[in-house]
Homo-oligomer: A and B are copies of this chain.
Amino acid sequence: MELWFTEHHTKNVRLSIKVDKQLFTKQSSFQRIDIFESREFGRFLTLDGYMMLTEKDEFIYHEMIVHVPMASNPDIKKVLVIGAGDGGAIRELCKYPAVEHIDMVEIDKDVVDACRDYLPSVACKLDDPRVHITYEDGLRFVRRKEDEYDLIIVDSTDPFGPGEGLFTKEFYGNCYKALTANGILVNQHESPFYPDDARAMQRAHYRIRECFPLSRVYQAHIPTYPSGHWLFGFASKGIDPLKANLSQWEKLELTTRYYNTDIHKGSFALPTYVKDLLGDENESQY
């Protein structure tokens, strides 16, 4: 028997992964959740048929969404994570002794429960005493907050479906308000390669730029996401990731498999066609 999971990256491109078996499937109140077992990527999680993570390459996404902001400001103590029901971003955040409190706001409890059961290497730190989980729409949660978080990580699904509100100007404005004076907002920023993704990325980027005085974009190689070329948005009230003193991060001696202080700087060097999509402000200023 051959069982293949196939995702359409566009109408005309599809990536297929051979599956050993389906471990879990559920239609939650928000989306369809599936977890599969595969030889090439280990277990992987899909929401509404879109790849969220695989055991083989999730370290790339989770390290890049967490360590870039954390290394940019060693004084981060209170963090809000929106989405991220799988726990991967939480796992990376829990590596920092200086972090005192993490609020995780996930709209879909079924995702968290499934990941606890079937993806323990990802969900392993959800019970860390610093982690406080709220099951609510991140958009609503953040509205009530003011001057509270040193870092907000938006680890959302794509800008359609349940994650749609997390790409609006209202949401970014509320994040700005919820952040402390040194606050940083990081979000997954889609891919620049396929035209529809690039337009969604561009729209979200312009909205963030209207809300924050400093806004940069960085990139990573994530083989199981469409095109493999993935962007992250870094916005702040002033902290510049390219002026960070990275020797402090080195002293922590954390174990990482993708992120390092060379990558920290190098990931902000964007191809010309991506710079053109983002507008002139995104000079990496080496």
Contact = CB atoms under 8 A, between A and B. Distances in A.
Contacts of A17: 12-13
Interface stretch (A102-110, A154-162, A165-173, A253-261): A253-261
A229 B258 CA distance: 13
Interface string A222-243: 0100011100000000000000
Interface stretch (A121-129, A205-213, A263-271): A263-271
A14 B60 CA distance: 21
A223 B194 CA distance: 10
A228 to B, nearest CB: 2
Given A227-B221, A228-B223, A10 B257 contact: no
A228 B267 CA distance: 16
Contacts of A267: 266, 269
Contacts of A259: 271-272
Contact of A258 (B57, B60, B271): B271
A252 interface: no
Nearest to A39: B12
Given A221-B228, A272-B259, A14 B16 contact: yes
Nearest to A191: B223
A219 interface: yes
Nearest to A223: B227
B265 A269 contact: yes
Contact of A257 (B229, B266, B273): B273
B269 A256 contact: no
B40 A10 contact: yes
A262 interface: yes
B12 A38 contact: yes
A262 B275 CA distance: 11
Contacts of A256: 272
A260 B275 CA distance: 10
Nearest to A256: B272
A40 B60 contact: no
Interface of A: 10-18, 38-40, 57, 60, 193-194, 219, 221, 223, 227-229, 256-260, 262-263, 265-273, 275, 283-284, 286
Question: Top 8 nearest A-B pairs by Cβ distance?
Answer: A228-B228, A266-B269, A221-B229, A266-B266, A12-B18, A262-B269, A12-B40, A223-B227
Given A221-B271, A258-B272, 15 more contacts: A11-B18, A11-B40, A12-B17, A12-B38, A12-B40, A15-B16, A193-B221, A193-B223, A227-B228, A257-B272, A260-B269, A260-B271, A262-B270, A263-B269, A266-B284
